[in-house]
Structure 1
Amino acid sequence: MIDNALWLFAMCLVLGSGVGLLAGLLGIGGGLVVVPALVWLLPRAGIGSELVMHIALATSLASIVLTSGSSARNHIRLGNVDFSIVKTLAPGVIIGGLGGSVIAELVPTALLPRIFAVIVLLLALQMLASMRFTSMRPLPGPMATVCSGGVIGVVSSLAGIGGGSLTVPYLSLHGVEMRRAIGSASLSGALIAVAGMLGFITTGLGDETLPPMSIGYVYLPALLGIVMTSMITTRYGAALVSRLPTMTLKKIFAVFLLFISLEMFLG
């Protein structure tokens, strides 16, 4: 078991490098990469199939707390975060993040990867559709925005993602400039991840089938490997946002989502 944990830790160091870059560049916490990667890695580290998806979701959210936090710090420094938007979304995404972790515990394990793939596919199609026009619709009122944040929080926690892949298209469709949408999504994603992580820790406590070095469903060797490198590379992704045109960012984002969705369907 120790050898398996060390091997997984080493693999997650490599994984974290790419996660951090994408977190800074696309405003995501990295869950869209971390979840499918861990679904592939965890069984090879001796983790039982009945635990794989829940551990992948929980560990992904735990890593997002730090990667999104690091990415948000860089975006704040670059002036890409709209705090008025984040403040309005915050109550909904926090409550939704907790709710999603509870729902994931009730959903049959075999369905979780398919749910993840469908969510990501819909997100990719939405982003591709948004490229055809520039929306000037303002954000809805505070209550509607809180409710939207709740939906984003539930779906994000259920899929083990930080919510950037939902928040960025949502803000973009309401006329928020892409860089501000990405920066604001980074900060919102950290809030979702904290709520979802706490939910998965609570629901996993007392499960005697979990591997050693677990806190609830959060598996520490994988978590440490991911965050040690991802927190370094987020700054480079955030710096690229200010250099790439908006349409290029949207294309990168949409193609990335389509690729991940296909991988999870085939997997």
Structure 2
Amino acid sequence: MELLSSGTIFALIAALAAAGAVTGFLAGLFGIGGGAISVPVFFEVFRLLGHDPEVAMPLAVGTSLAVIVPTSLVSAYGHLQRGTVDKDLLKVWALPILIGVALGSALASVAPPRLFQGVFVCVALLIATKLLTGGKWRLSEGLPRRAILRLYGAVVGLVSALMGIGGGAVSNLILTLHGVPIHRAVSTAAGVGVLIAVPGTIGYMIAGWGRPDLPPDALGFVSVATFLLTIPTSILTTRFGVALAHRLSKEWLARSFGCFLLLVCARFLVAMIAGDG
């Protein structure tokens, strides 16, 4: 692998610190893990370091999940203090989410990069469309029976493990489709991040364990160096996102997040069309 210049190394460190700051802020603001920011940034960093897309993408996803662990804990605690987390729903979702995450993590060891990117684009486009059309879509005005809720939990875990996100975006979509107010959905989604990130991180470590083409600092598909460079700024900004989430209007939050998701989708679509991973 080619040695990087000191300027390039500094730029990489700065990019990771910035990604951590935005990841933490989004975790608090939208109740999401921030993987929509960290996955593409980590992917580009690992590509620049000389890793093939077949390694760079699962490594980006696994490392993103590791970063989501502390940010989701801080975010969930902040929302819990404001009394807007649905703890009963989190109890129902705990086991199904774990099963979904385990399946998604197992797929990480055999799936091509285009699967990760394709899942990301499809789900994010659906969420963005809902947000930008005013969020008026409804399946019902209340949560469904427990059997359906458990199925939802498994889907949230599976999709989130493949996308490298904390599940907040997907669970937000599900909850608002069933009439849950946006601020309660955001707060509960922060708790979902905790349920997904911990087993997801462990699963990606196991999926990549022993591979010879990983960087020397990696534990399976988790880069320890990237994790350590990203965490300080992400922890710092999470609490600011939580505070802002309870001050801004739901319309502003929804439309801003929708625009952000469209930009991320565009980035992955360009990469897929160009065959660049």
Q: Judge same fold: TM > 0.5, yes or no.
A: yes
When residues 8 and 227 of structure 1 are mapped into structure 2, their CA distance, relative to the original with a 3 A threshold, is: same
1:129 is displaced (CA, Å) by 4.5
Matching residue of 1:16: 20
Aligned match of 1:201 in 182, 202, 205?
Answer: 205
Matching residue of 1:150: 154
Matching residue of 1:182: 186
Helix, strand or coil: the match of 2:109?
A: helix
Are residue 59 (structure 1) and residue 50 (structure 2) matched? no
1:25 is displaced (CA, Å) by 0.5
Are residue 37 (structure 1) and residue 41 (structure 2) matched? yes
8 Å contact 2:119–2:163 — kept in the other structure? yes
Aligned match of 2:122 in 115, 118, 122?
Answer: 118
1:19 is displaced (CA, Å) by 1.0
1:6 is displaced (CA, Å) by 7.0
Are residue 257 (structure 1) and residue 257 (structure 2) matched? no
Matching residue of 2:94: 90
1:134 is displaced (CA, Å) by 6.6
When residues 130 and 171 of structure 1 are mapped into structure 2, their CA distance, relative to the original with a 3 A threshold, is: farther
1:180 is displaced (CA, Å) by 1.0
Matching residue of 1:140: 144
8 Å contact 1:100–1:153 — kept in the other structure? yes
Aligned match of 2:111 in 107, 114, 126?
Answer: 107
When residues 121 and 133 of structure 1 are mapped into structure 2, their CA distance, relative to the original with a 3 A threshold, is: closer
8 Å contact 1:101–1:200 — kept in the other structure? yes
Are residue 165 (structure 1) and residue 159 (structure 2) matched? no
When residues 104 and 130 of structure 1 are mapped into structure 2, their CA distance, relative to the original with a 3 A threshold, is: farther
TM-score by length of 1: 0.93
Mean alpha-carbon deviation: is it higher for 193-202 or for 149-158? 193-202
8 Å contact 1:82–1:184 — kept in the other structure? yes
Helix, strand or coil: the match of 1:140?
A: coil
> 2:206 is matched by which residue type in structure 1?
T
Unpaired runs of 5+ in structure 1?
A: none
1:150 is displaced (CA, Å) by 0.1
How far does the alpha carbon of each residue in 1:200-259 deviate from its partner, in whole angstroms, 9 at most, with x for none?
111111111111111111001111122111011010000011111122221122112111
Mean alpha-carbon deviation: is it higher for 157-166 or for 82-91? 82-91
Name the CA distance, whole Å, in 1 between partners of 2:253 and 2:27. Answer: 13
> 1:141 is matched by which residue type in structure 2?
R
Are residue 222 (structure 1) and residue 226 (structure 2) matched? yes
Unpaired runs of 5+ in structure 2?
A: 272-277
Name the CA distance, whole Å, in 1 between partners of 2:15 and 2:137. Answer: 41
Percent of aligned positions that are identical: 37
> 1:196 is matched by which residue type in structure 2?
G
Matching residue of 1:241: 245
1:54 is displaced (CA, Å) by 0.9
Name the CA distance, whole Å, in 1 between partners of 2:194 and 2:93. Answer: 12
8 Å contact 1:8–1:221 — kept in the other structure? no
> 1:32 is matched by which residue type in structure 2?
A
8 Å contact 1:21–1:233 — kept in the other structure? yes
Name the CA distance, whole Å, in 2 between partners of 1:29 and 1:64. Answer: 5
